Structure 1
Amino acid sequence: MMKIDKVPFEEALNLTGFGKFNVISFLLCSSIIMGMAFELFSVSYLVPASACELMTTSNQQGLMAAVPLIGVIATSHFWGYLADTRGRRKVLCFSMTLSFIAGALAAFSPDWITFSILKFLSSSAVSGAFALSMTLLSEITPEAKRSNLVILTSSVFLCCNGFMAIIAIPVLPLKFSYYVPLLNIYFNSWRVLNLIYSLPCALSVIGLYYSYESPKFLLSVGKENEALKIMETVFVINNNKSSDEYPVKSMVLDELYATHNAKGFFASIKCQTIPLFKPPLLRNTILLSVTFIIVYICMHPHMVWLPYMTDGFMTSVQRGEHGINFCQRLRNSQNDTVVQMDDDCSLNEFALTMVFAVGLLLALINTIVSTIVNIFGRKRLLITIQLIAATAALCVNFTTTWYLSGILIITFISGVLNFGLLSSFCVDVYPTYVKAMAVCLTLMMGRGSAVLGVNLLKYMLDNHCETSFYVFGSVALVAAVLGFLLPSEAKPPLRDVYEKDNIST
């Protein structure tokens, strides 16, 4: 077969087909995202479960729950820079290893300060995992399936909170307690749970060791031969054919922007960052950052405190209380809880089962979204989801029917589906040499707002619960309006290399 010179990368990638390699890559990225989610959301279960032993106050618990987000904010930019200059796979392997070590050590914390420091380190290490895995997946997936897979990874992310809940159900009630004199701690159930939550990071490191670097990244840094070899390997795995049958002889990076070379660490970071804040990328950077901020400040705090909220809500329902709204149920449960050293700090098992069910439900809905996104369009879906979520939040206080309150809360939290939609915008609108940096930066902006949201929501749930739903619901409406300004999804069709070859011959 005659091979073609200077094939645009996207056309060359399309010619590798879609098959086993892409499925395996999706599973690898899913394990990375699971490791990140387990680290970030582990505080939702570990903070209340450790309250008896560590004797933490409500304010200290709020700080402990926000620490992972602070770690994400502190280092996202750094990991994005490394991924754009050193490679996606290499950086992911290093960061996930560090996260596993720090996360596992948190299980042996003698006090809440040590716990917070180790969680800060583990979350700092894993802060770029979501963005980098999304970037890696997008750069090895043909365009026709790219949005579907990127959005589908959010289903994995949404399942994680549910999986964590179902893991916690048999572990947290365990009554064993072994004294460790060296650390002056009691090794008990919440510490075991912490160790279990750190395992996905270790598993993802093993997968990354056997994986391939992004061929698009290699092409962008001038390593065309290595990129072509990976593309041939992908072609062989997907099609069960010889590499000689891959019709591409050489590739070119079909982007409007060129990579800038700079000497020195800070000069290099500057080169990777400044283009994001200059035309033609400036508008998209500002718009996506603001939208991420709004979506994250509204939705992420409710995901963090979902076990806490569900625990109070379901405790009230099980007591048979009637004629009160969601916030009154939460207050009644709080008033009955006084944390003492000998108390059982394990969460309500039925509540954890409900968290698991909510996680699976959101994952199912997100899977449906990933299959219809090409039909209805990302922009239209994002606006619709945001409008529905905001409306549900504004209606929570007006019902005293417990199951309707639950439906409205779940509907509001379903706004997390827009995490995947926004991420799919990011991986499409930025050129390769700043893509990882852009995704990390916009996510960092969103998670930065979530730090404020986590602490604000906990305070409002304890003191101004009804007001919290009006505030967060109104802010969510703003993101729906901004959705109309997001970039157009229309793209010119790619040329068919086979047709071009046939015409030329």
Structure 2
Amino acid sequence: MEKKEASNKTSAGGNVPGMQLNRTLTDLNINSEKQTEASSKDAPVDFETAMNVAGFGTFNILLLISALPAAMATVLETSVVSYILPSAECDLKLTLIDKGLLNGITYVGMITSAILWGYVADTKGRKKLLITGYLTNIISILGAACSQNVIQLMVFKFISGFIMCGPFAVLMSYLSELHGKKYRSRIVMLLGLMFSLGNILLPVVALGVLPSHWDFQILGLQFHSWQIFLALSTIPCLLGGALLSFFPESPKFLMSQGRNAEALRIFQRIYAMNNRKPREDYPIKELINEQSSSEKTSDDASTVSIATIEESIPKEKETVKPKLPIKEKKPKLSLRQGLQQLRPLLRKPYLGLSLQVYLINFAILLGQNTLRLWMPQMFASIEEYEQRHGTEDATMCTILEYSVNKTQSQITQTAINKCEVIITAASYTNNITVAITSCVGYLLAGFVINRIGSKMLLAICSIIAGLCAIGLYFSISALSTLIIISVSVSVGSISAMSVISSSVDLFPTSLRTMIVSLAMMFGRTGSILGNILFPIFMSLGCIPPFIMLAFVMFSAGIMSAFLPSTRKTVLK
């Protein structure tokens, strides 16, 4: 009995250490799991994760509201001249070629500064360029409003184009980089909607100003209603530059530059505004380092070289001026950085893809901007023709022939045959209809793009625009012309925005603004070429200008079929 009791005690006592060991192991497992969770929470995250956690809310809505006048300023800059051509025809003694050059001169300025602005935005940041660009452009707009002849007007419009190229490309990148992939495609389409609102605003203002026939002098300068109209286009630039100054730099850009602490503070700010919580509640504490080792090496080398120069200055004080080496070295570093930024676009894997984007944008904007910028002149000619001849059955070919003959007769004006232009409110109502149609088109595209993707939307809209160009040749009335132009301009604008949307997704942050700038440079080259060729083809006959428009839009649709799909692509 004593042995059994002893053995029972021993066995009972032997279980105590075993139970304690199990409990200890369990506690260790729990602690390790907690540590793993804590470490996973504190682990560095990428841009998409940080932006998704920040959410979508008050910050984003205020940003889009502030971006509205900025987007409108871009539209006004490229379109405002097309609305003054009928009014300024006599004052500036414009020929058909003059009208084409005035429509395209802004794009010439944009082309000359495309690479410059792309480099500045991708190396120095988005925000400063936006604010500086919009506010500086006010000066050139006022200069254009004071122009007394066609040469002065062309010079100031060239300067405006040079300045506005930067903000136009950067605004797209800036908005895309302040939204997660869930909203990014829609944001680009929403930007297109803002452009459409600008296209609505433009004819509405023209409706109230241009038919007034104002004529007065200030300091020996003659002013007319079309110059007042030009001066009013400074307002969106002023609002856009002022409102965007309240928003932060792109966190994606900061992460690409290795400035993660600044980017994290911006994510915290967005999170706090969207969720109405303190910034400290933002759960992410660290961001991944997006700088490649080559960039770090380059930066370290640059730092060392500059430090070496600075250290050598005291030793050379007796024989060499101290600041001279630094002044000589900085431009070389900037030039080298600019060339290095272009290098990835000139070799695989981006060479073929970038060339494809350039050609598509060239074709789309050649067709789209040619029709869009000649549209006010065409509608004004339709209205004038109907008033003079008392008929509403004006075919497109009849209108083109009338417009060509009328412009040629204005050049050879005499005291008896005085230059006269009929401008009424009805001349701009059709433009408002087209702008509203484009606005509705962008709304529909915003819902469709996430389902079919930018690539498919681009192909479909380009083909429809090509069919509309053919339909214009067969148009038999002012109403049918209005319907066809409305559809063509709407789908053409969506095609242009789809190219940009695809470009944003296909290329990394370090190349994004550069690729958009270069793509727009090729597109603007197409715009210039189209606006010069269109009046030349008009003088040759009715069918050549419409064949040109149909050909380029069909070409863009075919080329877009070979682009990689960008549906729900993570931002690089």
Same-fold status (TM-score > 0.5) = yes
The DSSP-based 3-state class of the residue aligned with 2:222 is strand
- Corresponding residue of 1:102: 140
- Aligned pair in 2 of structure 1 residues 462, 114: CA closer, same or farther (>3 Å)? same
Work out whether residues 148 and 373 of structure 1, in 8 Å CA contact, stay in contact via their aligned partners in 2: yes
- Aligned pair in 2 of structure 1 residues 395, 50: CA closer, same or farther (>3 Å)? closer
Of the candidates 170, 179, 188, which is equivalent to residue 150 of structure 1? 188
1:328-347 correspondence runs (5 A): 328-335=398-405, 338-339=409-410, 343=419, 345=421, 347=423
- Aligned pair in 2 of structure 1 residues 409, 176: CA closer, same or farther (>3 Å)? closer
Work out whether residues 39 and 198 of structure 1, in 8 Å CA contact, stay in contact via their aligned partners in 2: no
1:52-201 correspondence runs (5 A): 52-181=90-219, 184-201=220-237
Work out whether residues 9 and 253 of structure 1, in 8 Å CA contact, stay in contact via their aligned partners in 2: no
- Corresponding residue of 1:390: 466
Work out whether residues 378 and 399 of structure 2, in 8 Å CA contact, stay in contact via their aligned partners in 1: no
The DSSP-based 3-state class of the residue aligned with 1:178 is strand
Q: Does 1:443 align with 2:520?
A: yes
Paired with 1:245 and 1:113, the residues of 2 have a C-alpha distance of 59
- Aligned pair in 2 of structure 1 residues 204, 62: CA closer, same or farther (>3 Å)? same
Paired with 1:54 and 1:45, the residues of 2 have a C-alpha distance of 14
Unaligned runs of 5+ in 2: 1-36, 303-331
Write the deviation string for residues 322-368 of structure 1: whole angstroms up to 9, x where unpaired: 66521212323554565469655464421311101111111111111
- Aligned pair in 2 of structure 1 residues 322, 209: CA closer, same or farther (>3 Å)? closer
Write the deviation string for residues 383-408 of structure 1: whole angstroms up to 9, x where unpaired: 11111111121232234244223322
Of the candidates 362, 365, 386, which is equivalent to residue 438 of structure 2? 362
Q: Does 1:220 align with 2:289?
A: no
Deviates more, 1:475-484 or 1:20-29: 20-29
Q: Does 1:240 align with 2:276?
A: yes
- Corresponding residue of 2:61: 23
Work out whether residues 52 and 343 of structure 1, in 8 Å CA contact, stay in contact via their aligned partners in 2: yes
Paired with 1:347 and 1:248, the residues of 2 have a C-alpha distance of 60
Partner AA of 2:235 in structure 1: L
Q: Does 1:489 align with 2:566?
A: yes
Paired with 1:289 and 1:425, the residues of 2 have a C-alpha distance of 12
Deviation at 1:73, TM superposition (A): 0.5
- Corresponding residue of 1:452: 529
Work out whether residues 182 and 568 of structure 2, in 8 Å CA contact, stay in contact via their aligned partners in 1: no
Of the candidates 461, 477, 484, which is equivalent to residue 408 of structure 1? 484
Deviation at 1:207, TM superposition (A): 1.1
Work out whether residues 10 and 254 of structure 1, in 8 Å CA contact, stay in contact via their aligned partners in 2: no
Paired with 1:354 and 1:28, the residues of 2 have a C-alpha distance of 29
Paired with 1:463 and 1:167, the residues of 2 have a C-alpha distance of 34
Paired with 1:431 and 1:74, the residues of 2 have a C-alpha distance of 24
Paired with 2:203 and 2:528, the residues of 1 have a C-alpha distance of 22
Deviates more, 1:295-304 or 1:60-69: 60-69
- Corresponding residue of 2:359: 290
- Aligned pair in 2 of structure 1 residues 75, 419: CA closer, same or farther (>3 Å)? same
Partner AA of 1:206 in structure 2: A
Paired with 1:457 and 1:379, the residues of 2 have a C-alpha distance of 28
Work out whether residues 235 and 241 of structure 1, in 8 Å CA contact, stay in contact via their aligned partners in 2: yes
Work out whether residues 384 and 422 of structure 2, in 8 Å CA contact, stay in contact via their aligned partners in 1: no
The DSSP-based 3-state class of the residue aligned with 1:252 is coil
Q: Does 1:280 align with 2:349?
A: yes
Write the deviation string for residues 148-169 of structure 1: whole angstroms up to 9, x where unpaired: 0111111121232331111011
Deviation at 1:42, TM superposition (A): 1.2
Paired with 2:51 and 2:132, the residues of 1 have a C-alpha distance of 27
Work out whether residues 310 and 355 of structure 1, in 8 Å CA contact, stay in contact via their aligned partners in 2: yes
Write the deviation string for residues 32-84 of structure 1: whole angstroms up to 9, x where unpaired: 22111111111112333223222233322322221101001110111111001
Paired with 1:343 and 1:312, the residues of 2 have a C-alpha distance of 15
Deviation at 1:17, TM superposition (A): 0.4
Q: Which has the larger radius of gyration?
A: 2
Paired with 1:30 and 1:466, the residues of 2 have a C-alpha distance of 38
- Aligned pair in 2 of structure 1 residues 462, 26: CA closer, same or farther (>3 Å)? farther
Paired with 2:158 and 2:100, the residues of 1 have a C-alpha distance of 14
Deviation at 1:491, TM superposition (A): 5.0
Paired with 1:320 and 1:48, the residues of 2 have a C-alpha distance of 20
Deviation at 1:493, TM superposition (A): 7.8
- Aligned pair in 2 of structure 1 residues 425, 42: CA closer, same or farther (>3 Å)? same
- Aligned pair in 2 of structure 1 residues 420, 257: CA closer, same or farther (>3 Å)? farther
CA-based RMSD of the aligned residues comes to: 2.3
Q: Structure with the greater relative contact order (CA < 8 A, sep ≥ 6): 1 or 2?
A: 1
Work out whether residues 255 and 431 of structure 1, in 8 Å CA contact, stay in contact via their aligned partners in 2: no
- Corresponding residue of 2:21: none
- Aligned pair in 2 of structure 1 residues 398, 357: CA closer, same or farther (>3 Å)? closer
- Aligned pair in 2 of structure 1 residues 405, 356: CA closer, same or farther (>3 Å)? closer
Paired with 2:116 and 2:481, the residues of 1 have a C-alpha distance of 42
Work out whether residues 16 and 231 of structure 1, in 8 Å CA contact, stay in contact via their aligned partners in 2: yes
Deviation at 1:5, TM superposition (A): 2.5
Paired with 1:398 and 1:408, the residues of 2 have a C-alpha distance of 10
- Aligned pair in 2 of structure 1 residues 355, 255: CA closer, same or farther (>3 Å)? farther
Partner AA of 1:269 in structure 2: G
Partner AA of 1:392 in structure 2: C
Paired with 2:104 and 2:569, the residues of 1 have a C-alpha distance of 43
The DSSP-based 3-state class of the residue aligned with 1:305 is helix
Paired with 1:68 and 1:286, the residues of 2 have a C-alpha distance of 24
Partner AA of 1:307 in structure 2: P
Paired with 1:343 and 1:408, the residues of 2 have a C-alpha distance of 32
Paired with 1:123 and 1:202, the residues of 2 have a C-alpha distance of 16
Paired with 2:133 and 2:522, the residues of 1 have a C-alpha distance of 20
Of the candidates 485, 490, 507, which is equivalent to residue 430 of structure 1? 507
Paired with 1:458 and 1:246, the residues of 2 have a C-alpha distance of 59
- Aligned pair in 2 of structure 1 residues 258, 25: CA closer, same or farther (>3 Å)? farther
Deviation at 1:253, TM superposition (A): 5.3
- Corresponding residue of 1:498: none
1:249-260 correspondence runs (5 A): 249-252=285-288, 259=295
Give the structure-2-normalised TM-score: 0.81
Write the deviation string for residues 412-447 of structure 1: whole angstroms up to 9, x where unpaired: 223221111111111111111111111111111111
Work out whether residues 102 and 122 of structure 1, in 8 Å CA contact, stay in contact via their aligned partners in 2: yes
Work out whether residues 294 and 478 of structure 1, in 8 Å CA contact, stay in contact via their aligned partners in 2: yes
Partner AA of 1:217 in structure 2: F
The DSSP-based 3-state class of the residue aligned with 2:178 is coil
Paired with 1:398 and 1:57, the residues of 2 have a C-alpha distance of 27
Deviates more, 1:141-150 or 1:320-329: 320-329
Paired with 1:107 and 1:43, the residues of 2 have a C-alpha distance of 11
The DSSP-based 3-state class of the residue aligned with 1:172 is helix
Partner AA of 2:480 in structure 1: L
The DSSP-based 3-state class of the residue aligned with 1:236 is helix
Work out whether residues 129 and 167 of structure 2, in 8 Å CA contact, stay in contact via their aligned partners in 1: no
- Corresponding residue of 1:500: none
